[in-house]
Structure 1
């Protein structure tokens, strides 16, 4: 006898998701290699690239996205891979600027599949630089602290 209900791919996952139940594990990252932002090159040890674990790979990704200005590099044109926090460099930090920075960082970082939340922001202005500190909670509930000078 033919089923009168059509087969809907992923229906059970949609139902579980609507019930607040996790549908599946997060897809693992591929290999990530350590990058030295001071020399703008990958780190080599004994002639081989240094592979990062999951936490360090996410930290490196965060540093990269915080230092990527929208449409500055052709490879990121028309993508959501950017965070314009460098706009405050050299300026006096106001409460409105802090709110915009928090919003920009949060929305940029939440695009990563491993990042569940971003919070606990603090700012420290030192002459022309701003030191931003915040916490990132991963989907695995691990928490990492980020400190970035802009």
Structure 2
């Protein structure tokens, strides 16, 4: 009745995860991308980037529909000059890593860089996935204005 997953103990690897269909979302236009009136399916890399972007723009515990583990809590750091940037970067990195690894294809992040400005943070890092590394991910996260 339930699917059986094969686990190769010799290799100590997990079975391959599947994402199913993911449709491309344009965050600037705030709508799904359509071609000939039909939603465009996202590539593997686009789907991962889209999911990570959604995590980054969602403040933890703000939307009950996502549950307590989805999103990051960086609004409290925006505009704070009394907390060293290294401390903020470390905490934000921890939150991002703990949240995005909930995706079955994501295994972690590397080379996190945080730049903060007026009511926003610009986050950039490499996304580690089961299929390889996605370089050059960058997202602007606004929490005011």
Gaps of 5+ in 1: 1-8
Encode CA deviations 1:73-98: one digit per residue, 9 max, x unaligned. Answer: 231134x2221233333333622222
Q: 2:60 aligns with which of 70, 85, 107?
A: 70
Shift of 1:110: 1.2
Counterpart among 28, 31, 52 of residue 41 in structure 1: 31
Q: Is the aligned partner of 1:60 residue 2:76?
A: no
Query: CA-to-partner distance for each residue in 1:119-140, whole Å, 9 max, x for gaps?
Result: 1112233444332211111112
TM-score by length of 1: 0.77
CA distance in 2, matches of 1:135, 1:43: 25
Matches within 5 A, 1:49-128: 49-78=39-68, 80-92=69-81, 94=84, 95-128=86-119
RMSD over aligned CA atoms reads 2.4
Give TM-score, length-normalised by structure 2. Answer: 0.79
Structure 2 residues without counterparts, runs of 5 or longer: none
Higher-RCO chain (CA-CA 8 Å, sequence separation at least 6): 2
Alignment length, in residue pairs? 136
**Aligned counterparts of 1:28 and 1:44: Cα–Cα separation in 2:** 23
Work out which of the two has the higher radius of gyration on C-alpha atoms and give 1 or 2: 1
